[in-house]
Amino acid sequence: MSKRVLTTESGAPVADNQNSASAGIGGPLLLQDQHLLEKLARFNRERIPERVVHARGSGAYGYFEVTDDVTGFTHADFLGSVGKRTQLFLRFSTVADSLGGADAVRDPRGFAVKFYTEQGNYDLVGNNTPVFFIKDPIKFPDFIHSQKRDPFTGRQEPDNVWDFWAHSPEATHQVTWLMGDRGIPASYRHMNGYGSHTYQWTNAEGETFFVKYHFKTNQGVRSLSSDQAAELAGKNPNSHQTDLLQAIERGVNPSWTLHVQIMPAADAAEYRFNPFDLTKVWPHRDYPLQRVGRLVLDRNPDNVFAEVEQAAFSPNNFVPGIGPSPDKMLQGRLFAYADAHRYRLGVNHTLLAVNAPKATTAQNYGRDGLMASNSQGRGAKNYEPNSYDGPTETGRALSAPLSVTGYTGTHEAPQHTKDDDFYQAGELYRLMSSEERSRLVANIAGGLSQVSLDDVIEKNLAHFHAADPEYGRRVEEAVHALRED
């Protein structure tokens, strides 16, 4: 059996892939060595700008299967019948560190799902926590700057991290989550995922509901202590990537059960918490979890760069029956995610295999740009309307319109009866066992005690006192003890 021939990118056969062309034996290299120049030039361009956040990621393919009837709440086709399966791609990630960071670190985890539905791709972009640090996207660049490497020292600085939180009391709830036992998942398989934001569902009759997504791991929640994580990160920085890859290769396919909380749209205005505030949860006693289906991962990517690094998720990729809510952070991300992909991957990133629709065909009038393909057919028009049988609009909105009133301006979110920044953080603290509380206090004190400004420390302590008197007292005592050592 003859061997396949190595070629250049233009298809010409390569005579020698071990030695560069030179001016005589031992002489300088020749500019005419097209194979050498092509290899070096391509190598210099193999990488693209990494994501500003969620740079360090892993992913896998799988499917979602509907197990329960939710057609009374949404007319989304992929949720339309029990037993229906939809192919998907799921990307996990850490948030703050760079592409070369370790997996086993204390950080929220991204949980982004691309459903390849028959009505187009639906992207659900969330985290492994049901809440976030801020409630308005105008603060997001400042927040991320405070958590990333300092431009002078080149490392994450406790002064920056805790100074931002000192001036952002709404972060207290998420800080309590992050510093608690679930702040470092043992693996991607052993953590829950959440849509985090509030979304809108619309049924066939036009009735609207607001929903929150909860993906509950069927492997059970497992987490690492700070000491365990530090040891694992040092021994195997790729721990979570390796675990996911090997589990699927062994046929141990991880799965999650999707539940949703469903709020009739009419409830939103008078609910005790602002239902569109990303720093708040909806207590389950108010809106119980309702099961929807099962998510299973059963196939690893063939190429991590092509399929994980270039996977592009955007929360503005909706399908009929699902739409946005007035959640301010969601509204900001509707723009920011898609804009990031156009910058990193180019305007034609949706043509990449991992991002392209699989159960339907994209038909639009987008043309040209970097890496454009001639996929529209000879003579296809690039404008609409036209007289040449081009694709046309349906006239049917994907979701119901949102009611708006008042004047334009830079408004704070409307206040509901329980809308302080500390109540739910205190509720979370009081749900913890005594051992969980002790570990939470130790984790917070370990970072806060390193802050150089007393005023920043006192501001943060005031947040924990406001959440729960015992919580504040124990953190204060632990911080002072560490600073006296």
* Residues noted as catalytic: 54, 127
Taking a C-beta distance cutoff of 8 angstroms, is the pair 88, 66 a contact? no
Give exposure, 215-235, as e/b (b: 16+ Cβ within 10 Å): bbbebeeebbebeebbebbee
Taking a C-beta distance cutoff of 8 angstroms, is the pair 343, 49 a contact? yes
Taking a C-beta distance cutoff of 8 angstroms, is the pair 182, 221 a contact? yes
DSSP 79-112: GSSTT-EEEEEEEEEESSS-TTS-SSSSS-EEEE
Taking a C-beta distance cutoff of 8 angstroms, is the pair 418, 279 a contact? no
Residue 201's nearest CA partner among 318, 331, 360, 357 is 318
Residue 399, CA distances (Å) to 318, 330, 409, 434 in order: 9, 16, 26, 45
Dist. CA 13–CA 3, nearest whole Å: 13
Residue 23's nearest CA partner among 34, 15, 31 is 31
Dist. CA 104–CA 442, nearest whole Å: 18
Angle (CA) 175 274 397, round 5°: 115
Give exposure, 143-161, as e/b (b: 16+ Cβ within 10 Å): beebbbeeeeeeebbeebb
Number of H helices, E strands in the chain: 12, 10
